[in-house]
Amino acid sequence: MPEVLIRAESLTKKYDDLLAVDGIDFEVFKGECCGFLGPNGAGKTTTIKMIHCVLPLTSGSLAVAGMSVSESPREIKKMIGVAPQEENLDPDFTVITNLLVYARYFDIPKSEAQKRAENLLKFSQLEEKRNVVIDQLSTGMKRRLILARALINEPQVLLLDEPTTGLDPQARHLIWDKVRGLKKQGVTIILTTHYMEEAAELCDRTLIMDGGKIIEEGTPANLVSKHAGEEVLEVDYDEKVVNMLKEKFPDARLEVVGDRVHVFTDQPHGVFTSFLESFPTKSATVRGANLEDVFLKLTGRKLRE
Amino acid sequence: MTPSQESQGFRLPKLTYRVWKVWRRNFDVFMKTFKVSFFPPLLEPIFYLAALGAGLGALITQQIEGQSYIQFIAPALVSITIMYSSFFECTYGSFVRMYYQRTFDAIIATPISVEEVIGGEILWGATRSLIGGTIVLGVVAAFGLVSTHLITSPLFVLVLPVAFFSGLMFSAIGICFTALAPNIDFFNYPQYLLITPMFLLSSTFFPLTLLPKPLQIFAQAVLPLTHTVNLVRWSLFGHGELSYVLSLVWIAAVTPVFFVLAINLMKKRLIR
C-alpha cells in the first residue's frame, strides 16, 4: 500500500454564499502525480490553496504528512513548493535575484541558496537570462522561472496550478519534460489543469471536480475506458445515418454536438471501420476515445464563466 | 472551532524574526533604486527652506516664541518628510505590492505568515521615515550653518528615534487605508482629507495658538503630525508648543492600536 501524504476528509470551503469546495474526501500518495481536473469554478484552486495553508478551511480536515494545515502551517509550507496560476514573480528584481530572495524567505543560507539558484537556472534553461528583469521575459520563461522558484526549498510536494495555461506547444512540452523529471526524482506532484492532454500525459491518477465536488476518480486510462469506451465515430448529423447507427450499435451512446453526432462504443477497435466500409459516409472520422470525452461527458458542455 | 478559524478572528499578531525578511526585500529594492529614492527627497526641503524660510520669512518680521519664521518651520519640514515617507510607502507602495505585483501572495506561500508580511511592511515604512527624516535633518543643519541657527539643542539626534516611531505610527495608519482600499484611487481620500490638513494645521507653518479654539483642540487630540512636529521641535531647540510628555504618551498610545488594527484588517482582506 503506498504511503498517504495528503489526506482530506469532508474538506469544505465556503465564501460568504458560495460553496467553493463541498465536503470532499481524497488522498494523495507519496511519489504520485495526481491531477485535479475540472471546469472553471470547480474548486481546484481553492483546494490547492488550502493544501498550502494560505486559505483557512471552513470545516473538515486536511493533513499533509500527518500534520494538520490549521495547526502546523509553517512546517507544511517548508516542505511544499507552489507554482501558482497567476504570475507573481517579483518585478522589482532580476531572474537570479528572484530565486535568491525567495530562498531567503525559507531561511536557506546564502551560499546554499546561490548553489541551488545556479542549478535551477540550468534546470529551467534560463542561464542566459539571469540578469534580466521579469518584465522582459516571455510567458514561457516566466512559467519556467515560477517552476524553478517553487523548487528552491527542495520540496517533497509540488503544487502546480495550471502550469501551462497560455503557453505555446514548445514551452508546454518543456514544462512537461521537467515535471516528468521531478516525478522520477520522487517528488509528489499535484497538478490542476483543464487541458486533458496534459492530464493524460503527466498524471498517474486524476480526480475530476465540478461544482465543488469530486465527481470521479481513477487513472486516465481507466476513466477513458469506463466512460468513453474505445473508439469514437464522428459524423455529420443526418436522420438516416443516426437511425442506421442506432440499429447497428444498440449499446452505443450517441451524442449530438452542434451539427455533428458522436458515437461512443465499448466494443473493440475496428467496429466503426468495418461499419464505414459497408455504409460509406462522407465527413465521418473515427478516433480513439480520450480524456476530453470523459471530461465533457461528466461535466457537461455548458460554458463556465 | 479549529485553530485556523480562531486565527481569522481579531487577535494580537504573532510575529517572529521573519518580519525582517520582508523588510529586507523592500530594503533591497530601495538600494537598487538608491539614486532616485535618495536624491530627489533631498531637494524638496531645500526648496521649502528657500521659498518659505528665506522668501516668505522675510515678510514675517514678528518672532514666534522668540524664534524667526525659518526656525519655526524647520522642524515642520523634517516632520512632514517623516509623515510622507511612511504614509505613502504603506499606502501606494504597499498597495502596488499587494494588488498589482501580488508580492504578498508569493511570500505567504513560504513559511512567512500574513501577519509577518504586514509587520515587515510597517517596519519598512518606519525605516523610510528614518531615512527621510535623516536626509532633511542634514539639509536643515547645512542650511542652518549659512543662515540662522536651525538647530540649537545638543539633543537634536533624538530626531532619529522620533522619526522611526512616528514612522511606525504613520505606516500603521497607512496600512489600515490600504486594507480598506478597493482601488488605488481610493488613496485620494486620506491624502486630501487627512494628510493635507495635517500638513497645514499641525503647528507646521504657524503656531497652534493662532487657530480657533475648537481647531486647536482638534489638532492636538486627533492629528498625529502635531505630536511629531512638537517632538522634533523639542529635539532641535529644547522647547516646543506643547509638553513633550503629552506627545510621547500620545504616540505611544496610538501606535500600537493602529499597528494591531492594521494587521487584522489586512488579514481580513487577504485571507478569506
Residues A224, A52: contact at Cβ < 8 Å? Answer: no
The pLDDT, as a whole number, for residue B217 is: 95
Within-domain flag for B219: yes
| B110 vs A contacts (CB less than 8 Å) | 77, 102, 105-106, 153
Band of the pLDDT at B8, cuts 50, 70, 90? low
Nearest chain B residue to A91 by CA: give it: B101
B4 to chain A, closest Cα gap in Å: 5
- Residue spans of beta strands (DSSP E) within chain A: 4-15, 18-29, 33-37, 59-64, 67-68, 80-83, 157-161, 188-193, 205-210, 213-218, 231-236, 253-257, 260-265, 285-288
pLDDT at residue A284, rounded to an integer: 81
Q: Give mean pLDDT, residues B27-41.
A: 84
CATH topology of domain A4-224: Rossmann fold (3.40.50)
Give A-chain residues touching B29 at CB under 8 angstroms. Answer: 92-93
Q: What is the pLDDT of residue A43?
A: 93
Q: What is the pLDDT of residue B7?
A: 53
Q: How far apart, in Å, are the Cα atoms of A132 and each of A128, A142, A168, A203, A305?
A: 9, 11, 22, 33, 36
Residue B106 near residue A89, CB atoms below 8 Å: yes
Nearest CA in chain B to A53: B109
Q: What value does the mean pLDDT take over residues B77-104?
A: 96
Inter-chain contact A107–B24, Cβ cutoff 8 Å?
A: no
**Stretch B159-171: mean pLDDT, rounded?**
98
Residues of A in contact with B107 (CB under 8 A): 105
Q: Is residue B211 part of a domain?
A: yes
Chain B, residues 105-124, CB within 8 A of chain A, namely 105-113
Low-confidence ranges of chain A (pLDDT < 50): none
Q: Pick A106's closest partner by Cβ from B101, B103, B111.
A: B111
Cell of residue A139, nine digits: 510567458
pLDDT above 60 (res B5) = no
Place of cell 499533509: A64
Apex CA A153: angle with CA A150 and CA A154, to 5°? 90
Contact A301, A293 (CB under 8 A): no
A86 interaction partners in chain B (CB closer than 8 Å) = 102, 105
Looking at the complex, does the CB of residue B185 fall below 8 Å from at least one CB of chain A?
Answer: no
How many separate domains does chain B show? 1
Is a pLDDT exceeding 50 seen at residue B6?
A: no
Q: How far is CA A124 from CA A95, A143, A150, A181, B109, in A?
A: 11, 9, 12, 12, 21
Q: What's the pLDDT band for B1 if we cut at 50, 70, 90?
A: very low
pLDDT at B2 over 50: no
Q: Say how many CB pairs under 8 Å bridge A and B.
A: 75
B213 pLDDT more than 60:
yes
> What percent of chain B has a predicted confidence (pLDDT) above 90?
75
Q: What pLDDT is stored for residue A243 in this prediction?
A: 82
Domain A230-289 fold is Alpha-Beta Plaits (3.30.70)
Give the closest-approach CA distance of A173 to chain B in angstroms: 25
Q: What are phi and psi of B88, to 5 degrees?
A: -70, -35
pLDDT digits (tens, 9 = 90+) for B225-256: 999 999 999 999 999 999 999 999 999 999 99
Mapped to the 3 state alphabet, what secondary structure does A83-104 carry? ECCCCCCCCCCEHHHHHHHHHH
Nearest CA in chain A to B21: A105
B25 vs A15: CB contact, 8 Å cut-off?
no
Is residue B114 within a helix (H) or strand (E), and if so which, with residue range? helix B114-146
Give the pLDDT score at B150: 84
Q: Range(s) for CATH 3.30.70 in chain A?
A: 230-289
Range of the domain at B80: 17-270
CB atoms < 10 A from the CB of A103, how many? 23
- Residue B180 pLDDT level (bands cut at 50, 70, 90): very high
CB contact under 8 A, B21 and A105: yes
| Contact residues, chain A to chain B, C-beta under 8 Å | 15, 52, 54-57, 68-71, 73-74, 77-78, 80, 82, 84, 86-93, 97, 101-102, 104-107, 153
Is B110–A56 a contact, with Cβ atoms under 8 angstroms apart? no
Among A52, A53, A71, A92, pick the best mutation site for testing chain B contact (most B Cβ within 10 A).
A92
ipTM of the complex: 0.90
Question: What pTM, to 2 d.p., does this model score?
Answer: 0.91
Mutate one of B1, B4, B14, B116 to test the A interface: name it (highest A CB count within 10 A). Answer: B4
